[in-house]
Amino acid sequence: MVTGALGKLGTVWTETLLEAGAAVLALDLPTQPVGESFQRLLDRHTRARLCLLRVDVRERSELEAIHERCVAMFGAPTILVNNAGIDRPPLREATCYRIEDMPLAEARQILEVNTLGVLLSSQVFARRMLQARRGSIINIGSLYAGVSPEAHFYDHLHRDPPHLKPPAYGASKAAVINLTRYLATHWAPYGVRVNALSPGGVLGGQDAQFRQKFCRRVPLGRMAVSEDLRGPLLFLASAASSYVTGTELVVDGGFTAW
C-alpha cells in the first residue's frame, strides 16, 4: 500500500514495488490528478497488480473502508509506504509570509496530513500485519526532519516577503521520525518493522539557480534522482532489512554530514 501515490515520489515507490513483484494498492485524494507517469503504470499493469483508490489519510472511516477492500482484493497488506504529505514549493502565484505572520491554518493542515496522516494510516493498516506477525512500514521523512532549510536557496526569487519553506514541514517530518521509533518499539514483538526513509532534494522542475545553490551544499554535488531512491525502499521493504527497525535511512548525498 502506498499513500500519496500520485505525487512525484509516490509514483517512484509504486513503480519500484511493482517491478519487484508486489501487487500495489495506490491511494490518493479524489482531487489529485493522475499524471502521465502514473497513467503509464496503470496502462501497463492489470488491476490485480495495481489498483488506484481515492482516500483522505485524515479520515479514519475512509481508511478502514480501504483496508477492507485491500484484504478482499489482495489479502492482508505486508508493506505500507506512508508517503502522503504536503509541502509548499516556491510557486509564482503562492502567497509568501514572514515567519511571524504565517497562518496557523496552513501549519495545521501540514501537520494533520504529514504527521497525523502517518499515524492514522499506520493504526488502520497495521492491524492485519500485527495479526499475521509480519510486515514492513516505511514512513517517508525528509532531510529537513533533522536540519533547517537554508533561506538563501530561495533569495534569488526576489520576493517581499521572501519565500520560506513552511516551518511546519520540517516539524511534521521530525515528528514522523520520532513516531517511527515509537511504533517500531511497540510493534517489534509482533514481527512488524517500522522505519523511515528520508530523501534529500530530489530533482524535478526546480529553477537553475536553486539547483546550483543546492548542489554546492551537497558533498556528492548533485540532487537525487529516482534511481537513487529505489534501492533504499526495496531494502526497507524486503527481508534484506529483517533486523532493521526503528531507524531513519537518510538518502541525501551527504547533505547532513556537514
**Segment 32-44 mean pLDDT:** 97
Rounded to 5 degrees, what angle do the CA atoms 37, 27, 41 make? 25
d(CA 169, CA 139): 15
User: Where residue 159 falls among pLDDT bands split at 50, 70, 90?
Assistant: confident
**H runs (alpha helix) in 28-140:** 36-44, 60-74, 104-111, 117-132
pLDDT exceeds 70 at position 110: yes
- Write down the mean pLDDT value for the chain: 95
> What is the pTM assigned to this prediction?
0.95
**Segment 171-195 mean pLDDT:** 98
Question: From residue 110, how far is each of 38, 161, 168, 181 by CA, in Å?
Answer: 24, 21, 6, 21
Cα 168–chain centre separation: 15
Q: Are β-strands 24-28 and 50-54 bridged in parallel, bridged antiparallel, or unpaired?
A: parallel
Per cent of the chain over pLDDT 70 is 99
Structural domains in the chain, CATH included, are: 2-257 (3.40.50.720)
pLDDT tens string 43-95 = 999 999 999 999 999 999 999 999 999 999 999 999 999 999 998 877 766 78
